[in-house]
């Protein structure tokens, strides 16, 4: 994406949020809404077919999250320290507003020190797996897209009815996209808005901010608590700091599942901490609340990235295996500042072919507990070493020999992780 003088002037006026721990993560989003209100948070192609790019600004995303807070905790009523599962099949811009809105609902009314903890959950989980995670997190409230997940909801209710002890579970629909984004892509400071009343913050860095879950490849998925301190550490990862250092960068992230660690990181943490916009698919629920969101494919993922002038992308290996078969796709990828992949291995033949064609390919490594602590972009020195991972110097790695010539990697606390 070519830079322009207006782009440069706009970037020079940005006020980057402090990443020194002086603000908790939700406060970083509020900081951006105040200091960088017009800067793009999300972008997506217009549905008019004009080539126009629509923008969700930092101001609009913050206000959308605040409206969700009103919806999930009207009048600041309700139980404190409540875990709320998000089991929704909805547009990314709505899903992540749900995620942050639940957090904001817990940041308010500090006298009671409430904590609403969002728990994004894959809709592909089975009913027993969902119930197992509900019990482990003592969750009794779910926000579910019942029109598209009706069978799963019925299975969950049926499974719970077999329990010896009654398990209370409140299931509700997510707020409509038009209620969360009433001025979709056009909201400005003067637009009517009622903030979710804020008191003194009662959160501590050790408190749980949200839950994610493991893949469940060897059993039921395991709930993983992410504290406010850990969320601040996420902001120190190379995937943030590298992107923050590159002007005029736009990252394609709409193809990532919003409930997954990769989705949450790229779609929420990256734009908040680095002020680099993220491209997503255009919303489908603005006209029909029951409309199914765009289903990612290798073709529409690249088309969406190109049409939004993205020049960085994080993908799953399966998409790269398909792109490598298309000379046109490879040509487009070669124009990106980086093409990163995560979530699984990539065939050496595929990676070598992409790199030989000029694609700046990089393998990214991380974990839910630790974040993506490997570099996301290649240097000229390691441009051909796409299979190798370069860890951040602010990571603390211990290699423990296993006695067979291999070692186990153990990730200890980051240098910055003891406290700020």
- Quick check: is 407 in a domain? yes
At residue 419, the pLDDT reads 56
The two three-digit tokens of residue 202, written as one number: 């009662």
Q: What is the mean pLDDT of the chain?
A: 88
Q: How far apart are CA 256 and CA 262, in angstroms?
A: 7
Q: What integer is the mean pLDDT of 237-252?
A: 91
pLDDT at 270 over 90: yes
Q: How far apart are CA 222 and CA 244, in angstroms?
A: 32
DSSP string, 21-67: SSS-HHHHHHHHHHHSTTSEEEEEE-TTSS--EEEEEHHHHHHHHHH
Query: What would the pLDDT profile of 120-149 be if each residue is shown by its tens digit?
Result: 888 888 899 999 999 999 999 999 988 888
| Higher pLDDT, residue 1 or 226 | 226
Task: Outline where 13-57 has alpha helix (H).
Answer: 25-35
The answer to whether residues 263 and 296 touch, using CB atoms and an 8 Å cutoff, is no
At residue 112, the pLDDT reads 25
pLDDT-derived band at 356 (thresholds 50, 70, 90) equals very high
SS (H, E, C) 105-141: HHHCCHHHCCCCEEEECCCCCCHHHHHHHHHHCCCCE
- Quick check: is 1 in a domain? no
Cβ-based burial of 93 (10 A; exposed 0-12, middle 13-18, buried ≥19): buried
Q: How far apart are CA 162 and CA 259, in angstroms?
A: 28
The answer to whether residues 252 and 276 touch, using CB atoms and an 8 Å cutoff, is no
- Quick check: is 85 in a domain? yes
- Quick check: is 12 in a domain? no
At residue 315, the pLDDT reads 95
DSSP string, 168-192: --EEEPPPPHHHH-TTTTT--TTS-
The answer to whether residues 391 and 367 touch, using CB atoms and an 8 Å cutoff, is no
Kindly report which listed range (181-185, 244-248, 356-360) carries the lowest average pLDDT score. Answer: 244-248
pLDDT-derived band at 108 (thresholds 50, 70, 90) equals very low
Our measurement of the distance from residue 24's CA atom to the centroid of its chain's CA atoms, rounded to an integer in Å, reads 17
| Higher pLDDT, residue 309 or 373 | 309
Query: What would the pLDDT profile of 358-413 be if each residue is shown by its tens digit?
Result: 999 999 998 888 888 888 877 777 888 999 998 887 788 999 999 999 999 998 86
Q: What percent of the chain has pLDDT over 70?
A: 90
Phi, psi of 411 (to 5 degrees): -95, 115
Query: What would the pLDDT profile of 23-71 be if each residue is shown by its tens digit?
Result: 999 999 999 999 999 999 999 999 877 889 999 999 999 999 999 999 9
Number of domains in the chain: 1
Tell me which residue of 35, 36, 55 sits closest to 45, measured CA to CA: 55
Q: How far apart are CA 157 and CA 130, in angstroms?
A: 11
The answer to whether residues 184 and 178 touch, using CB atoms and an 8 Å cutoff, is yes
Beta-sheet strand order (sheet of 53-57): 53-57, 40-45, 278-279, 251-252, 312-315, 338-341, 361-363
Q: What integer is the mean pLDDT of 202-215?
A: 86
| Higher pLDDT, residue 110 or 306 | 306
| Dihedral angle computed from the Cα positions of residues 196, 202, 208 and 210, in that order, rounded to the nearest 10 degrees | 10
pLDDT-derived band at 150 (thresholds 50, 70, 90) equals confident
- Quick check: is 258 in a domain? yes
- Quick check: is 163 in a domain? yes
Q: How far apart are CA 136 and CA 119, in angstroms?
A: 12
pLDDT-derived band at 80 (thresholds 50, 70, 90) equals low
- Identify the CATH number of the domain in which residue 338 sits: 3.40.50.12780
User: Cα angle vertex 313, ends 310, 315, to 5°?
Assistant: 145
Q: What integer is the mean pLDDT of 206-222?
A: 83
At residue 418, the pLDDT reads 46
Q: How far apart are CA 131 and CA 53, in angstroms?
A: 41
- Quick check: is 83 in a domain? yes
- Quick check: is 276 in a domain? yes
At residue 77, the pLDDT reads 80
Domain extent at residue 328: 25-411
Q: What is the pTM of this model?
A: 0.91
At residue 110, the pLDDT reads 21
Cβ neighbors of 62 (< 8 A, separation 6 or more) are 29, 30, 32, 33
């Amino acid at each position: 994406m070519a830079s322009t003088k207006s782009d440069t002037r706009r970037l020079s006026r940005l006020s980057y949020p402090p990443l020194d721990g002086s603000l908790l993560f939700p406060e970083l989003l509020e900081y951006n809404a105040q200091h960088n209100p017009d800067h793009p948070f999300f972008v997506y192609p217009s549905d008019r077919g004009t080539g126009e790019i629509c923008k969700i600004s930092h101001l609009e995303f913050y206000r959308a999250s605040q409206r969700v807070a009103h919806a999930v905790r009207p009048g600041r009523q309700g139980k404190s320290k409540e875990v709320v599962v998000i089991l929704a099949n909805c547009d990314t811009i709505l899903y992540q507003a749900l995620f942050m809105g639940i957090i904001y609902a817990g940041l308010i009314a500090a006298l009671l020190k409430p904590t609403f903890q969002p728990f994004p959950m894959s809709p592909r989980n089975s009913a027993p797996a969902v119930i197992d995670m509900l019990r482990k997190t003592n969750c009794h409230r779910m926000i579910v897209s019942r029109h598209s997940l009706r069978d799963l909801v019925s299975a969950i209710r049926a499974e719970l009815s077999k329990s010896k002890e009654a398990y209370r579970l409140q299931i509700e629909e997510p707020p409509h996209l038009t209620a969360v984004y009433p001025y979709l892509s056009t909201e400005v400071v003067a637009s009517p808005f009622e903030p979710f009343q804020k008191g003194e913050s009662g959160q501590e860095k050790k408190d749980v901010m949200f839950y994610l879950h493991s893949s469940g490849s060897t059993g039921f998925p395991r709930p993983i608590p992410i504290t406010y301190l850990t969320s601040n550490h996420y902001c120190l990862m190379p995937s943030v700091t590298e992107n923050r250092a590159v002007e005029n960068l736009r990252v394609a992230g709409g193809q990532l599942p919003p409930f997954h660690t990769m989705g949450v990181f790229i779609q929420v943490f990256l734009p908040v901490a680095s002020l680099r916009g993220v491209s997503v698919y255009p919303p489908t629920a603005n006209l029909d609340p029951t409309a199914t969101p765009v289903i990612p494919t290798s073709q529409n993922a690249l088309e969406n990235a190109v049409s939004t002038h993205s020049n960085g992308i994080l993908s799953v290996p399966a998409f790269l295996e398909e792109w490598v078969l298309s000379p046109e796709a490879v040509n487009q990828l070669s124009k990106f500042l980086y093409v990163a992949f995560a979530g699984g291995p990539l065939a050496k033949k595929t990676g070598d072919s992409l790199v030989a064609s000029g694609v700046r390919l990089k393998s990214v490594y991380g974990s839910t507990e630790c974040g993506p602590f490997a570099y996301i972009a290649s240097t000229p020195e390691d441009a051909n070493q796409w299979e190798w991972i370069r860890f951040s110097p602010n990571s603390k790695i211990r290699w423990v020999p296993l006695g067979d010539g291999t070692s186990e990697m153990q990730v200890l606390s980051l240098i910055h992780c003891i406290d700020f």
